[in-house]
Each structure stands twice: as C-alpha cells, then as structure tokens.
Amino acid sequence: MFVANQPASNPILIQLNRLCKAYELTDRSGELINHPVLFDINLTINQSEFVAIMGHSGSGKSTLMNILGCLDTPTSGNYWLSGRDVATMNSAELARIRNQNIGFVFQSFNLLKRMTALENVAIPLLYAGIGRKESLKRSQAMLDLIGLGKYRDHLPNQLSGGQQQRVAISRALINQPQILLADEPTGNLDSQTSHDIMTLFTQLNRNQGITIVLITHENDIASYAHRLIHLKDGHIVEDEARLSN
C-alpha cells in the first residue's frame, strides 16, 4: 500500500479516524447479520483540495461519500468536520450543514421536473430562510455565472444532460459551500460534456478554493483531481498526490 504525505499548507477540513461502517441485514432465515462496508478509515482532507475517490462496485466509496456528506453515520470511529465532531451534532445542526456547508452533485442530476432551472437553483436558499425574491435574484446571478442565464425559464426536460448538470452544480454552489461532493457527476454525459463539467470543477477549485471530493470509476475523470484515493473491500489501499493540472 502506498500512502502519500499530504500537504499541510491549508487548514484541515475533513478528518476521519479509524472510521468503520457496517449495516444490519436480514439473511434468508430472517436472522440479523452484520455486514461491514468500511474498515478503519483514516483520512485527512485539507481545505481547497481536489480529491477523487475510486473503487469497484461494493468497495465502499458511496458509503464513504454519504458519511462525508452527513447523510449517514459511522458505526464506530470519528468524523471531524471543520474541527467539530459530527457525532456531537443534533439533527438541526446536521441539516444546516448539509444546506449551507456542503454542496451535492449526483449522476442523475436530481432536478425537480416541474420547476424551472431558476427555481431549482433557488431551492437551497428557500430552505435556508431566504425570501423568494432574493433567492431568485441570487439564482439568476449563479446561472449567469455558469453560462446558463438565458435558460432560466426552461424545465429540466427542455435542457440537455450537460445543461441539467450545470443547473445541478449551480444549485449545489448557491449557498457558497465549503465542500462540493460529486458522486459520478459525469456518469450520464458524453465525453465532451464530461470534459466541460470537469473543467468547470477545476476552475471552481482553483479560482474559488472550493474543496471538491469526487467519486468516479473513470480514470480520465479522476485525472482532473490533485489527489487520488483508491478503495478496495472497504479499505483505503492507495492515497496518491498527483501533479496539479
């Protein structure tokens, strides 16, 4: 196993210590069995890093991403986010963190079909208690920034896959999160559109300092990241620093 020394120039944003995750499943006889997914994960991610997590299906990468996004909890071990133990946070605090500190981008876009691009981007602001007029104003500015301002009134089914993903990225960024978690964000896109999305991620990381953690099974997509983590059977087997793009 090769583990690269990580740079300490930026503050630590994410720290996992001996983190494990197991699920209780029911076997054919109806008995509960313990199904371990992650084993003794030790991981530190500094602010403004661009990290790709790779692994075959069943390696635990999606489970790890859900824990990082405060969507799931570890069975044992610790997760510190910006110096705070996530286990000490109540449900309201976790909801606030998911809304304001973490942006999520998924393979399937997850846009609301009956809402326009503008309204989809505004959703996190409305959940944060921002008035509708101000939310739509900020959302328009974000769509303009991302190059989709003229598509503000389009429904998702009126947009291409790449445009839908850009709307989803705009929604993820609208509350200016510290972290962008992207789970197979190019999985439903063609090669050129995938390159465009990854170029956008690179610019967001380089120009705005957003910490990006990306799950992918594609080597060419992972090559955009500055650090590559391989998971196998729930273990980190490689943690490699890469040359900056």
Which domains does the chain possess?
1-101+222-245 (3.40.50.300)
pLDDT at 31: 80
For residue 25, the model assigns a pLDDT of: 81
pLDDT of residue 34: 85
| pLDDT value of position 244 | 56
Q: How many CA atoms lie within 13 A of 133 on its CB side?
A: 0
Q: pTM of the prediction?
A: 0.90
The segments of the chain whose pLDDT lies below 50 read: 1-7
Contact 102, 177 (CB under 8 A): yes
Cα angle 164-167-173, degrees, rounded to a multiple of 5: 145
List Cβ neighbours of 187 (8 Å cut-off, separation of 6 or more).
Answer: 107
**According to the model, what pLDDT value does residue 243 have?**
64
| pLDDT value for 199 | 95
**78 bridge partner residues:** 17
Distances (CA, A) of 127 to 95, 121, 135, 181: 10, 11, 10, 19
The angle formed by the CA atoms of residues 107, 157 and 192, to the nearest 5 degrees, is 50
pLDDT for 176 equals: 92
Q: What is the pLDDT of residue 136?
A: 97
For residue range 59-114, what is the model confidence (pLDDT) as tens digits?
999 999 999 999 999 999 999 999 999 999 999 999 999 999 999 999 889 999 99
Q: How far apart are CA 12 and CA 28, in angstroms?
A: 44
Alpha helix positions (H), the chain: 61-68, 91-100, 117-127, 132-146, 161-173, 191-208, 219-222
